[in-house]
Structure formats: structure tokens, C-alpha cells
């Protein structure tokens, strides 16, 4: 039976340990599962023969908790957890969150803001000059000078602010193994400056061991937004393990040097990491606190791939995992699913066989393997590259093999289907089997918006592609007698989205009979191209200006327009329509979003705009009787009717009564 790694001095003594090699600190609860980064790194080190202890969510108000297990022999590895600590704590509106799925009992506040920096300070208090390596998503996305949404300013590289010795970025298995090997050979941490996938501080740019490019300094990007945009684009373009160069950025008298990215693990290596002896559960010390909610989404799910060449500009994946796809072997995934069928809580359903993007199983094209991904060309948007290899046959074969395993009732795909990529596969077998076997009532996809200009800023395909997908999806459901729906993820207030664009999105939702229960407002996370647009007002790909909705009230209006039927949103929607010059959408026609208030006439079309909507005086209602004139007619808002109409689709059974949660 697999054991958790020790989390206290008492547990080390039970193992007969009176010393250990590495302390792994995490801002999440200790969940020993291969979807938790600190668990992966801990098990990778253990597999290399090192003694590893885990310190999860320590009390950061003093150094006592950090010193409690004693000084590790070789070093400390530190992560804020699976997500950035500021994202974990605050909404896009900068309001404090009330829960945290990565903490026991869903309790918020069990880690500090800017956890990597705070934990690093406590490690230095506890162990002074011990080798300190920071990693995880928070460190990875903040490795350069970066715009910080919560302080609304450019901050220094987190390597500078934490005063760590090294920073590992991306998926850190290769870098961690190499660092540990050299520390075990008594090599000073100050000399470990040539490991790919790491950053270090130096007194000279000449300390870099690789071909390099220097971007504008912290001081320059902090005062000049154009310099920031130029630097951000270079940082993004060079994040390629084949053609990428090292990046140098001066911070005062020191230089942050980011070595080129490490190569992704190959299939055999990825299999080995996925099949390390994880317990696959939260540590039992959390049982009395209600467990750790984050495990519920992944306990009966399988990650079969890494990386994403989708290149959505608002997504951090390209800047962290990278755009090169690697995948596990069929045999490895089958072994994992067979193991899950023996779990006492397993009921026959695998919730997901996915990853960053579920239907990516191989690199986007053969050229990528030799030359890396193209600098100035995205694989899928705004149109697919002619070299794109959209073959789904390997993924389809894997799913068929998994469905045949005894004890399996259903294999679902929930982690995201790239619908534009799927449409490029001229063989329709995968699409057909997706509909027949792998949808749990609702398929979640991400068109994000309906205005093509906004979608271009997002790095997403044009809306016509989504509509083509939706039509084919509906036809297949009808063909196979399925009652399954599409839940489209949508985003408000992305850079490039004007109030007029937000109105068009509301019109599109009204036309398609959709209104989302949850709306994702754009969240400027560190490092992404969209965050660069948000801060600078410049599209770094073209260096052209871009409109950015930053005023909280304007953003609230954009958000409200996507939920125009909600009574509490009416004042904001009314204000937005008037501000956008779209009073024609206040009336009685089916195209209208709002009904007039008592005593007010329906909004007429603005100058030069064709009249929108039917239902004007003299037209007949469904019952054949003439409709009353609009002027002066009081129309009560029927809240229960609005609630019935607010769903994605009319439910016909309890299991389809509510859509799934948003992102």
C-alpha cells in the first residue's frame, strides 16, 4: 500500500529517519495526486532516491513551522500551489474569495497573499543560506518583470523579491532532477546556472551559458508601456524548447537570466511520472476538517497529455506548460483506469480523460518537432494553419480501449474540447463517438465571444466556426437520439471588447436562446498576452493600440448585458443600452432585450438604424388578437418566467436541469 510522505518530525522518526534531503513546501493542502504539482515533484525526488518531507500550508506568521522538521540536508523546494495565490484569494473584481478548494474544508485564508515571497522569507529565517528553489505556477508566470493586477503596477521578477537561489518554470521534473543531482554532489547552488527551465540572478549578462536576447529592464518596462509590450512579446516568442533563446532582463544592478525552456518529457518519461506511487488522496490529517474539495474533480479523472498549441491569449498555459504536446502511452492510461476501477468509491464513471486540451494527442505538425512552433503564426486562430495535423485517430483508439475495460460504465470528456481543431479532422468518427459515448448531458466548449474583432484579440476562432460546430453537434444528437446540450463559455471585458461589442454579444445570446447563469469577467493574470494588452493598451503582436475596458462600472455593464434577463441587472443593462445608442433593444419585439417601464414608450431605433423587432402596434399576437399599442402600456416583469428562460436550454429531466459550473 502506498504511503504519504512524512509531514512531521514524528512521521520521519516512524520511518527511522533522523535526517532528510529535501523539504517541499506548498501553499495547497497536501494531496498526493498526480494533478498536484508539489506532489509530482516530491515523488520524482523520492524516485531518485532522496528522502523528502512535505510542509503544506504552514503558519507563515513565524519561522517556527518551517524549522519544525529540522534542516534538510540538500535544500528547500517551494511552491505557492496549483494556482497563483492572488488568484486563489481574489475575484476578477478584486473581492476576497470566501472559499478555497485547495484547502481543507474549503477554508479561505490558509495561505498568505504572494505565498512564494512570504514562504521564502520564512525559509531564510529558519535556515539562512540553505539552497532555496521556487517553482509552481506563481513563480513560473512571474519570472520576469510583470504587471500585477492587484497592485495595478509592474512588479519585479519574483526571483528578485523572494531572494531565492533558483526559479524553475514550466513543468519542472527535468530541472528538479538535475538540480538535486548536482546538490547531492556538493556543487554550490551559486554555480548551478546552466539548467534549462530555470532562472537565476547574476551580476552580469555574460553569466548566461546560452544564446540570449536581452529585453528592456524592469525600470524601463515599469515606466514605458511600449517597452513592456515589446518585452512581453519576446518573452512569449522565446518560450519554445527547440528554438527558444535565453532571456536576460536587468533589475537594478542585477540581471534575471531565464535559461531556455526544458524539453517536455517524452512518452516513456511522462508514463513514469504519472505512475509513481501516489496515494491519490488528501492526507488523512484533513479528514476532521472536511477533506480537500479539489480532489473531487480529479479523483476519477485521467490526464493523458500536456501542453496546448491552442494559444488563447488570455490563458497562462502557453507561458507555463508550453505549446508542444506530449502524451502518455495507451498502456499507461489503461493501467491507471484499471486501478481506478478498484477504488472503493468508484461507481463506473471516469469523469475525464483529458488535460489542458482534451483532444490534443500529438504535436500540431511535423515541422514543430524539428523547428519548434512558429513565432508569428498560431496553429488554429484566426484560421487553421495549412500544416495542421488534426488527426484524432489515436485519441479515439484510446477511448475505445478504455470503454472496453471491465467495470467501466461511461468515459466522459470534461476538460475542454477544442472544437475548431475537431472540425479540421475530415474523418467524422471522433465527433460521432464523442456525441454517442462521452458527453455527460452537457458539453462545455469555449467560443468566448461572438464578435470576430474581439475574438482576434483573444486568439480564438471566429464565431462562424463555433456555429458550424454547434449545428453539427445538434445534427449528431438528433441522429443518435441524444438529449445533450452545449454550454458555451463566454468572457466579458476582454481587451478589445467595447460596450457596443458587449451589446452584440447579448443580441447573439438572445437570438440563440441562451443566457449564461455564470459569466467569466476577464482576469489579468501575470505573463499572458491579454494581460499585456490590459496594462499597456497595446497589442504586443502588432504594437497597435487596443481599446481596454478598465473602469469597474463599464465592466459591470458588459457583464450585466450577458445576463440581461435578471431583474437585478436591469438598471445596468438599461444604462448600457442607452450609452451604446441601442435604445432600439428596449421594446416588445423578440429582438429586444428589455421591456419598457410603466408609462414609457418603447425605444425607437437610433438615427440611421433599421427598426428592430416585431410586436409593434397593429401586429397580431399568437392568439390572433391585435396587440396593444406600446405607448403607455404597463408590462410587469415576470421573475419566475425570467428564471425559466434564463437557462442554457429547456430542461426535460432533473439531471439536465442545471448547467455545470463555470470556469
Residues within the annotated binding site for [4Fe-4S] cluster? 308, 312, 315
Are β-strands 254-258 and 246-251 bridged in parallel, bridged antiparallel, or unpaired?
Answer: antiparallel
Contacts 24+ apart (CB under 8 A), 333-342: 333/302, 333/304, 333/398, 333/402, 334/401, 334/402, 334/405, 335/275, 336/274, 336/275, 336/302, 337/302, 337/402, 337/405, 337/408, 338/405, 340/300, 340/302, 341/405, 341/406, 341/407, 341/408
Distance, in Å, from the CA atom of 142 to the CA atom of 158, rounded to the nearest integer, reads 6
- Strands (E) located in 151-245: 153-155, 166-168, 198-202, 212-215
> Is the C-alpha dihedral spanning 382, 308, 295, 399 positive or negative?
positive
- Show the DSSP H helices in 34-82 as ranges: 37-47, 64-67
SS3 397: helix
CB atoms within 10 A of CB 627: 16
Distance, in Å, from the CA atom of 586 to the CA atom of 564, rounded to the nearest integer, reads 11
Residue 634 CA, distance from chain mean position: 46
Task: Calculate the CA dihedral of residues 451, 455, 460, 466 and round it to 10 degrees.
Answer: 0
Distance, in Å, from the CA atom of 231 to the CA atom of 144, rounded to the nearest integer, reads 9
DSSP letter at 203?
S
Binding site, annotated residues: 308, 312, 315
Strand ranges of the sheet holding 212-215, from the earlier edge strand across to the other edge: 52-56, 22-26, 75-79, 132-135, 166-168, 198-202, 254-258, 246-251, 212-215
Asked if residue 423 lies in contact with residue 469, where contact means CB atoms within 8 angstroms, the answer is yes
Helix pair angle (330-341, 267-274), 10° resolution? 10
Amino acid at each position: 500500500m502506498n504511503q504519504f510522505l512524512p509531514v512531521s518530525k514524528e512521521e520521519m522518526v516512524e520511518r527511522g529517519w533522523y535526517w532528510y534531503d529535501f523539504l517541499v513546501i506548498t501553499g495547497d493542502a497536501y494531496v498526493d495526486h498526480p494533478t498536484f504539482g508539489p506532489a509530482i515533484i516530491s515523488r520524482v525526488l523520492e524516485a531518485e532516491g532522496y528522502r523528502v518531507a512535505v510542509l503544506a500550508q504552514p503558519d507563515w506568521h513565524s519561522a517556527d513551522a518551517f524549522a519544525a522538521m529540522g534542516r534538510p540536508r540538500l535544500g528547500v523546494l517551494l511552491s505557492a500551489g496549483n494556482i497563483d495565490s492572488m488568484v486563489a484569494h481574489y475575484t476578477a473584481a478584486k473581492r476576497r474569495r470566501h472559499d478555497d478548494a485547495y484547502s481543507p474544508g474549503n477554508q479561505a485564508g490558509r495561505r498568505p497573499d504572494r505565498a512564494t515571497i512570504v514562504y521564502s522569507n520564512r525559509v531564510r529565517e529558519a535556515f539562512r543560506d540553505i539552497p532555496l528553489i521556487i517553482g509552481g505556477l506563481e513563480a513560473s508566470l512571474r519570472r520576469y518583470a510583470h504587471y500585477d493586477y492587484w497592485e495595478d503596477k509592474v512588479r519585479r521578477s519574483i526571483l528578485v523579491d523572494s531572494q531565492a537561489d533558483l526559479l524553475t518554470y514550466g513543468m519542472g521534473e527535468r530541472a528538479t532532477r538535475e538540480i538535486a543531482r548536482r546538490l547531492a554532489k556538493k556543487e554550490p547552488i551559486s554555480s548551478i546556472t546552466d539548467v534549462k527551465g530555470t532562472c537565476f540572478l547574476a551580476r552580469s549578462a555574460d553569466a548566461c551559458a546560452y544564446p540570449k536576447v536581452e529585453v528592456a529592464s524592469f525600470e524601463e518596462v515599469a515606466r514605458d508601456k511600449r517597452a513592456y509590450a515589446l518585452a512581453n512579446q519576446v518573452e512569449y516568442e522565446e518560450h519554445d524548447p527547440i528554438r527558444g533563446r535565453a532571456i536576460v532582463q536587468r533589475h537594478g544592478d542585477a540581471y534575471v537570466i531565464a535559461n531556455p525552456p526544458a524539453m517536455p518529457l517524452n512518452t516513456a518519461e511522462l508514463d513514469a511520472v504519472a505512475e509513481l506511487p501516489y496515494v491519490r488522496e488528501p492526507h488523512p490529517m484533513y479528514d476532521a476538517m472536511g477533506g480537500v474539495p479539489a480532489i473531487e474533480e480529479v479523483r476519477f479523472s485521467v490526464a493523458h497529455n500536456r501542453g496546448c498549441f491552442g494559444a488563447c491569449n488570455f490563458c497562462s498555459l502557453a507561458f507555463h506548460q508550453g505549446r508542444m504536446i506530449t502524451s502518455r502511452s495507451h498502456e499507461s492510461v489503461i493501467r491507471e483506469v484499471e486501478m481506478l476501477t478498484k477504488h472503493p468509491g468508484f461507481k463506473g464513471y471516469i469523469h475525464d480523460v483529458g488535460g489542458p486540451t482534451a483532444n490534443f494527442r500529438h504535436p500540431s505538425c511535423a515541422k514543430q518537432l524539428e523547428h519548434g512552433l512558429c513565432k508569428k503564426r498560431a496553429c488554429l486562430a484566426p484560421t487553421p494553419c495549412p500544416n495542421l495535423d488534426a488527426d484524432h485517430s489515436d485519441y479515439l483508439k484510446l477511448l475505445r480501449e478504455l470503454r472496453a475495460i471491465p467495470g467501466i460504465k461511461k468515459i466522459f470528456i470534461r476538460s475542454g474540447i477544442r472544437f475548431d481543431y475537431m472540425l479540421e479532422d475530415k474523418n467524422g468518427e471522433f465527433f460521432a463517438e464523442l456525441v454517442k459515448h462521452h458527453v455527460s448531458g452537457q458539453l462545455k466548449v469555449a467560443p468566448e465571444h461572438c464578435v470576430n474583432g474581439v475574438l482576434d484579440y483573444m486568439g480564438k476562432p471566429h464565431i462562424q466556426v463555433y456555429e458550424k460546430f454547434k449545428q453539427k453537434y445538434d445534427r449528431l444528437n438528433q441522429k443518435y437520439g441524444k438529449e445533450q446540450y452545449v454550454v458555451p463559455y463566454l468572457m466579458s471585458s476582454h481587451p478589445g471588447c467595447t460596450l457596443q461589442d458587449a451589446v452584440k454579444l447579448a443580441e447573439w445570446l438572445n437570438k440563440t436562446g441562451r443566457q449564461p447563469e455564470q459569466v467569466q469577467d476577464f482576469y489579468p493574470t501575470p505573463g499572458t498576452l491579454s494581460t499585456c494588452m490590459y496594462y499597456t493598451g497595446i497589442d504586443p503582436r502588432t504594437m497597435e493600440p487596443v481599446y481596454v475596458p478598465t473602469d469597474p462600472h463599464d465592466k459591470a455593464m458588459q457583464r450585466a448585458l450577458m445576463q440581461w434577463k435578471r431583474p437585478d441587472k436591469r438598471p445596468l443593462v438599461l444604462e448600457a443600452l442607452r450609452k451604446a445608442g441601442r435604445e432600439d433593444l428596449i421594446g416588445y419585439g423578440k429582438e429586444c432585450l428589455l421591456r419598457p417601464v410603466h408609462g414609457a414608450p418603447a425605444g425607437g431605433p437610433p438615427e440611421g438604424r433599421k427598426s428592430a423587432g416585431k410586436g409593434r402596434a397593429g401586429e397580431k399576437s399568437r392568439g390572433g388578437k391585435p396587440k396593444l399599442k406600446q405607448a403607455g402600456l404597463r408590462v410587469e416583469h415576470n421573475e419566475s418566467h425570467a428564471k425559466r428562460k434564463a437557462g442554457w436550454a429547456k430542461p426535460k429531466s432533473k439531471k439536465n436541469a442545471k448547467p455545470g459550473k463555470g470556469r
